[in-house]
Structure 1
Amino acid sequence: MSDFEEVTSRMVNAINKHDLGALTRCYTEDAFYMSPSGKGEGRDEIGSFWALFLDAFPDLQLTPWNKMLSGDCVIMEWILTGTHNGPFLMPDGEVIEATGRGVTIRGCSTRAFRNGLITMHCIYYDQLELLTCLGARLSLSQPR
């Protein structure tokens, strides 16, 4: 097993066990993280993003279904499932309180590595798919 595959396996296991300490140790001290929820730099900020997501979905499970290595980068397609039983912080600062609804989100992420740890992690998923699962309604703001 390559270092990339080993760190990816540790990351997935930490997410599924909700072990925030083990999860953040998968990243370099100066790692960069980007997702629809926002951007973070360094282990502490990255840990904050994961903590918010794990709090919102306390039974969250990540199931990888396709991985590809390319140089020092891993591309992974996955399915995320969970129940919305905690507050979910939106990128604009609005909070969606627990709905008790189940979510299933398909997504993809890319991770670059340095010295056997994740140095860059970009997550992509359909935000509308997540909001629809939560029962959120979109409203169009009219220009002023």
Structure 2
Amino acid sequence: MTEIGALLDALTDAINSQDEERVLRCFSTGAVFVTPAGVLEGHEQIGWYFRQLFTAFPDIHNELITRAVLDDTIITEWTFRATHTGVLLLPGGTEIMGTGRHVIFGAAGGYTIGEDGVFASARVYYDQLTFYRQTGCDLRLRRTA
């Protein structure tokens, strides 16, 4: 079985290099990737997600802060840094044109390795409100009845 810390490092390096092919090599073909924006299943959807991310933030850089391993799962915290220069596609299909704004926020996630030695599942967490505000999105909160 692949050493889980090395696999997380490989994924982080692939993301920082904006290399979709290398990102996908870190996940099984049927992997489930859960983000605040939605649930992605399999290489096609996970690849699409990262293509959108790399388009909106071509200088993306994730810096790992800490990690903890428990059996087949690694929990990690990192800082996301990037400049919003490309189109950002929001859930529901709304497109936000690049603003040139710098985005920096903390994130955390849990990744579970499968029998094939790559990630079978991942859950990523970050403050969406901070993320959208930093990109310049004009979000309006409203009360529901």
State the TM-score, normalizing by the size of structure 1. 0.94
Q: Tell me what 2:108 maps to.
A: 108
Contact 1:88 1:96 in 2 (8 A): yes
Tell me, what secondary structure is at the counterpart of 2:110?
Answer: strand
Q: Tell me what 1:140 maps to.
A: 141
Q: Does 1:122 align with 2:106?
A: no
- Alpha-carbon distance in structure 1 between the residues aligned to 2:144 and 2:105: 31
State the TM-score, normalizing by the size of structure 2. 0.93
Contact 1:29 1:43 in 2 (8 A): yes
Structure 1, unaligned runs of 5 or more:
none
- Alpha-carbon distance in structure 1 between the residues aligned to 2:118 and 2:85: 31
Instruction: For residue 92 of structure 1, report the CA deviation from its aligned partner.
Output: 2.3
Instruction: For residue 70 of structure 1, report the CA deviation from its aligned partner.
Output: 1.0
The residue type equivalent to 2:19 in the other structure is: D
* Aligned length, in residue pairs: 143
- Alpha-carbon distance in structure 2 between the residues aligned to 1:36 and 1:143: 21
- Alpha-carbon distance in structure 1 between the residues aligned to 2:71 and 2:21: 27
Q: Does 1:59 align with 2:59?
A: yes
Tell me, what secondary structure is at the counterpart of 1:112?
Answer: strand
Contact 1:87 1:97 in 2 (8 A): yes
Contact 1:36 1:91 in 2 (8 A): no
- Alpha-carbon distance in structure 2 between the residues aligned to 1:6 and 1:139: 41
Q: Does 1:72 align with 2:108?
A: no
- Alpha-carbon distance in structure 2 between the residues aligned to 1:77 and 1:103: 17
| Identical-residue share of aligned pairs (%) | 29
Contact 1:56 1:98 in 2 (8 A): yes
Tell me, what secondary structure is at the counterpart of 2:134?
Answer: helix
Instruction: For residue 143 of structure 1, report the CA deviation from its aligned partner.
Output: 5.4
Instruction: For residue 140 of structure 1, report the CA deviation from its aligned partner.
Output: 3.4
- Alpha-carbon distance in structure 2 between the residues aligned to 1:122 and 1:143: 28
- Alpha-carbon distance in structure 1 between the residues aligned to 2:7 and 2:124: 16
Contact 1:85 1:100 in 2 (8 A): yes
Q: Does 1:16 align with 2:6?
A: no
Instruction: For residue 54 of structure 1, report the CA deviation from its aligned partner.
Output: 0.9
